Amino acid sequence: MRSQEFVASSVRHSKDLLKRYLVKFDDSNHTRTAPGCPNHLAWCLGHLALTASRFAEWLPRGNQNGGALPVSDFIVDAKSGDENRFGTESICFGSDPNSPGVVFPTFARCVQIFEAATERLAAGVEQLSDAELVAPVPMFGGKMTPPYLLAARAIYHVGIHNGQIAYLRREIGLGSALG
């Protein structure tokens, strides 16, 4: 297995592990929050999708290989989304998932957008040459990091928000996803 395939499969696996925690979520509860848990499921999925999409965009050839934010999934610079798309300002770092008037996509669309963004990042990593996988690329704040570490950061980020989702599940009465 090439290093690119290993890294890409790890990105995909983080998505699959998170999806195990989506059991019992639906349109009636995907925007519920709980005391001590600032984010709801829709926000978490949108935030993770936005991050994975930005990381895919920063990869070599990112914009040419579908790395830019798809207009079918995101309304760029919007403080609210609609039933099919996230408003990027409603899911960015520091945003408030409970701001009045903010609209999030349906549960099914949230999952689809998250899956598509994860796949864009994984597919982008798979297409890299050995040299590109380890050559630093610019990311936010003018920092430089190699693509394999962008992927590791994305995987870690999924884990952080998966922990929030596990906590949220318990607090809103959905119980453990693990049985």
Which CATH number belongs to the domain containing residue 101 in this structure? Answer: 1.20.120.450
Which tokens in the block code for residue 86? Answer: 């996230």
Instruction: Specify the DSSP element, H or E, that contains 99.
Output: none
88 lies in some domain: yes
114 lies in some domain: yes
Domain limits for position 68: 3-171
Q: How confident is the model at residue 178 (pLDDT cuts 50, 70, 90)?
A: confident
* Total domain count, the chain: 1
179 lies in some domain: no
30 lies in some domain: yes
177 lies in some domain: no
| 30, 60, 61, 87, 104 from 107: Cα distances, Å | 6, 32, 31, 15, 9
Largest CA distance in the chain: 48
178 lies in some domain: no
Q: How confident is the model at residue 65 (pLDDT cuts 50, 70, 90)?
A: low
151: pLDDT strictly greater than 80: yes
Q: Tell me if 153 sits within 8 A of 55, measured CB to CB.
A: yes
176 lies in some domain: no
Q: How confident is the model at residue 66 (pLDDT cuts 50, 70, 90)?
A: low
For residue 162, how far is the Cα from the chain centroid?
11
167 lies in some domain: yes
